[in-house]
C-alpha cells in the first residue's frame, strides 16, 4: 500500500499575507490547528497524528498559523488586528472551499477553533485539545506568562517558570517580534458565547495538563461535549498516539 504523500501549498489570507498549508491523505477534510510556538510539522506530522487520520480515511489539512512555521510573520502592528488568527481561519476555510469538514485544534489552535465557531464557522464536529475553560475566557493571564518569557528571553535560566517556554521558542526558532504582536491580538471568549458551540465537541486533554485551566469545566459549559483523557502533561500529551487515536474515534463515530 502506497504511503500518502505530504503536499504543501501557499494560501493568501484576508490581508494578502501567506499561510503555508500542509495536506496528508484523501477523504473527509479535517482542519488541524497547532499550538502556540509550534507548527503543523511539530504538532501534527512529527508524532504520526496526520498519518493516523489519513489512514482512517481523512484528509489532514494543517496550516502553519501566522507567525509560525513557514507562514508570514510580519512585524508591522497593523498586521495584527484583534482576532487575526480567527480571521485567517475564516479566510482559509473560504479559500479552500471547505463546506463539510471537521475542525480540531490543540492549545492556541483549540482556542482559535472555538472562537472561529463563535464567529460563525460551522464544522460538523469540533475537537478542543489541551484546553480548559480558563484558557478560553481568561487569556490575559496566559498571554502575560508568554509575554514575560519573550521580554526576558536572554536572561531566563533553569528553574525559572518560563524556562521550558523559552527553550521551546529557541528550538522552534520563533520570531519573537511577531510572536509578541500575536499574543496581544488574541481575544477572550465570553463564557456565555460557548452556548453557541452546538456541534458535537470532544474536549481532549492530558491527565496532568491544567495549563489552560479546567477541561472538566469547559466540557460542562458546552452544549454537546464529551471529555476524554490521554496520558501526559500539556507538552507531552501531544506526542502520544492516543491523541490522534481519540480524534479518529470521535470523528468516525455516529
pLDDT tens for 161-175 read 999 999 999 999 999
Res. 1: pLDDT tops 70: no
pLDDT digits (tens, 9 = 90+) for 3-46: 679 999 999 999 999 999 999 999 999 999 999 999 999 999 99
CA distance 114 to 137: 11
161 in a structural domain:
no
Q: State the first-to-last Cα distance of the chain, in angstroms, to the nearest integer.
A: 28
Mean pLDDT taken over the chain: 96
- Structural domain boundaries, residue 207: 7-137+187-252
Here the CATH number for the domain that contains residue 54 is: 3.40.50.1820
CA distance 254 to 250: 8
> What b-and-e string marks burial along 85-109, b requiring 16 or more CB atoms within 10 Å of the CB?
bbbbbbbbbeebebeebbbbbbbbb
Mean pLDDT of 88-116: 97
41 in a structural domain:
yes
133 in a structural domain:
yes
Amino acid at each position: 500500500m502506497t504511503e500518502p504523500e505530504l503536499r504543501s501549498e501557499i494560501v493568501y489570507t484576508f490581508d494578502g499575507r501567506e499561510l503555508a498549508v500542509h495536506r496528508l491523505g484523501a477523504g473527509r477534510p479535517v482542519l488541524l490547528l497547532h499550538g502556540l510556538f509550534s507548527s503543523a510539522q511539530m504538532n501534527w506530522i512529527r508524532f504520526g497524528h496526520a498519518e493516523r487520520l489519513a489512514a482512517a480515511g481523512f484528509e489532514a489539512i494543517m496550516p502553519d498559523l501566522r507567525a509560525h512555521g513557514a507562514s508570514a510573520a510580519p512585524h508591522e502592528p497593523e498586521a495584527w488586528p484583534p482576532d487575526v488568527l480567527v480571521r485567517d481561519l475564516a479566510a482559509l476555510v473560504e479559500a479552500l472551499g471547505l463546506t463539510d469538514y471537521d475542525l480540531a485544534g490543540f492549545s492556541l489552535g483549540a482556542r482559535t477553533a472555538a472562537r472561529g465557531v463563535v464567529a460563525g464557522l460551522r464544522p460538523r464536529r469540533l475537537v478542543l485539545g489541551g484546553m480548559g475553560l480558563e484558557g478560553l475566557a481568561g487569556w490575559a493571564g496566559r498571554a502575560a506568562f508568554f509575554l514575560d518569557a519573550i521580554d526576558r528571553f536572554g536572561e531566563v535560566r533553569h528553574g525559572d517558570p518560563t524556562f521550558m517556554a523559552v527553550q521551546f521558542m529557541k528550538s522552534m526558532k520563533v520570531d519573537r517580534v511577531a510572536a509578541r504582536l500575536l499574543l496581544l491580538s488574541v481575544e477572550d471568549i465570553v463564557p456565555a458565547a460557548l452556548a453557541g458551540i452546538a456541534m458535537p465537541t470532544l474536549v481532549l486533554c492530558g491527565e496532568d495538563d491544567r495549563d489552560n485551566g479546567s477541561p472538566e469545566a469547559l466540557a460542562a459549559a458546552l452544549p454537546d461535549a464529551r471529555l476524554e483523557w490521554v496520558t501526559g502533561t500539556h507538552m507531552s500529551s501531544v506526542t502520544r498516539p492516543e491523541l490522534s487515536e481519540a480524534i479518529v474515534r470521535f470523528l468516525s463515530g455516529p
